[in-house]
Structure 1
């Protein structure tokens, strides 16, 4: 009797994939992944890891304000990275601030991907007037600086919804960042769809009478997502920096939920008086997150490029 050969599971295929092999062979990607994972874990489990709760105003003591880091003169082991002008622990504020920055950045990228991929598929597959209209909209959006568009939308949103809840304020901020972010996904997916729609498997689906929207969703979409993953990875860092910029300008997240940009803005007021730690450590946290995500995006772009294999 012949032995029955079982097909490898998804996990086994992943362990033997070229992508994982490329990751193991790249020390930069491994270090970047470790740093990004550490930042994400600290952000997700801020309530369990942080030594203090910087959002609990009742626990703040003004007598602890402006304490330097523990290794500096006048520092305390109770506050490892020092405190700000309200007595908040900087280390704890970093964990909570990173959670908000990551939430806003990831949400904005997901919204941009959903809108951009949908419009790019429609433009590339349907063509004609639909393609021309969507591409002209993209051209108009690209003519405006993304930060100015986000600043305008978020500023108008705060002016219109003065007494809005935190959830609505976060929604306006995410929409403002995603408003210009979808354009790159739409143009990328459109270019890939123009290539895929003329291939034999698409023509065969048309011949047997498959609905064109089903063809886009079931056949074309899985084959154009590779560049989208690479672009989304890199755009996460851009979205986080955009959120930090808006918060630094005072039109970002609500004051009751400080992000890394808010912490940098608060620390900037004390920078020239000698309390450098209030703004330096949030800035370093922002740089670490953005740099690690960008390095992962660069590695993923090279790993998925068949010309570099």
Structure 2
């Protein structure tokens, strides 16, 4: 069974589109390297930048290894506390990717569920959900995320890091579920009038089963494309919140926190403290966006 599914995938149009697209292959390689280094930072990183026992203040603000006064021990230099920039990038990217992926999964579950319900049931339920979407769309995503994150930290000022991560993930998910709901609603309204849905209703299949077993698989294509693109958006929003000081805790800095720390030393000559985290953020976001663009084209039958 597994062999048959894999064989059908490798013989399909999606895999052919991928292996014939240099941009998609390059983006996939960059994304894989970034994700691998972030996921296995504890094994790949040359140092643990957040272990206070290993920090040496005498090595603070060292430039990259290829510059004068640089050290091969720290390939990309160190920050103001002597932390290895390369290792900090790997650990910081792990936090950014975790927050981005978790918020996208949560927003996708909520948005797809409400979109299915709105498009299939219609009537007052559809009107209520769509008006709620209109209200959410009238506020900028960053503003809503800032508001929710700020309120959460005000209500729980002494919260542990895990709760701070939860508040951050919720604040991003609340601003992103609307896109899934509107996309799935439009696709569901098309699918609900097709013959296979009418036949299922005639034989007495419940509406919930029809939505879950028949309609949902046929509307997942646009959802997967949207989810891929929104991973990059969620990572950027998390970095923005962390840059503004309302993101992840300072004890577990993400890429946004590293950029904010390095920004204080940008004009004093230590450019590597902020440039390299910024470049890492751009690489992750750009590679994921390029994969999303490729997936959108690959799943569009009009472009085949």
Bin the TM-score by the shorter chain.
over 0.9
Q: Do residues 175 (structure 1) and 161 (structure 2) align?
A: no
In the alignment, the residues of structure 2 paired with residue 180 and residue 254 of structure 1 have an alpha-carbon distance, to the nearest angstrom, of 21
Deviations 1:80-132 (A, max 9, x none): 00000011000000000000000000000000100000000000000000000
Unaligned ranges ≥5, structure 1: 1-5
Shift of the 257–210 alpha-carbon distance from structure 1 to 2, 3 Å rule, reads same
In the alignment, the residues of structure 1 paired with residue 105 and residue 2 of structure 2 have an alpha-carbon distance, to the nearest angstrom, of 34
Matched residue, 1:117:
112
2:8 to 10, 13, 18: 13
CA apart distance, 1:159: 1.3
Deviations 1:276-299 (A, max 9, x none): 000000000000000000000000
- 3-state SS, counterpart of residue 47 of structure 2: coil
2:250 to 255, 268, 279: 255
In the alignment, the residues of structure 1 paired with residue 28 and residue 246 of structure 2 have an alpha-carbon distance, to the nearest angstrom, of 31
Q: Do residues 64 (structure 1) and 56 (structure 2) align?
A: no
Q: So what's the TM-score if we normalise by structure 1? A: 0.97
Matched residue, 1:219:
214
Matched residue, 1:47:
42
Q: Do residues 246 (structure 1) and 241 (structure 2) align?
A: yes
In the alignment, the residues of structure 2 paired with residue 215 and residue 263 of structure 1 have an alpha-carbon distance, to the nearest angstrom, of 48
What RMSD, in angstroms, separates the aligned Cα atoms of the two structures? 1.0
Deviations 1:152-173 (A, max 9, x none): 1111111111111111100000
1:166 to 155, 158, 161: 161
CA apart distance, 1:15: 1.0
CA apart distance, 1:7: 11
Unaligned ranges ≥5, structure 2: none
Deviating above 3 A after TM superposition, structure 1's stretches of 4 or more consecutive aligned residues are none
Matched residue, 1:268:
263
Q: Do residues 187 (structure 1) and 182 (structure 2) align?
A: yes
CA apart distance, 1:8: 6.9
Matched residue, 2:284:
289
- 3-state SS, counterpart of residue 70 of structure 2: coil
Matched residue, 2:296:
301
Matches within 5 A, 1:143-158: 143-158=138-153
- 3-state SS, counterpart of residue 255 of structure 1: coil
In the alignment, the residues of structure 2 paired with residue 151 and residue 252 of structure 1 have an alpha-carbon distance, to the nearest angstrom, of 9
In the alignment, the residues of structure 2 paired with residue 187 and residue 122 of structure 1 have an alpha-carbon distance, to the nearest angstrom, of 11
1:103 to 98, 101, 111: 98
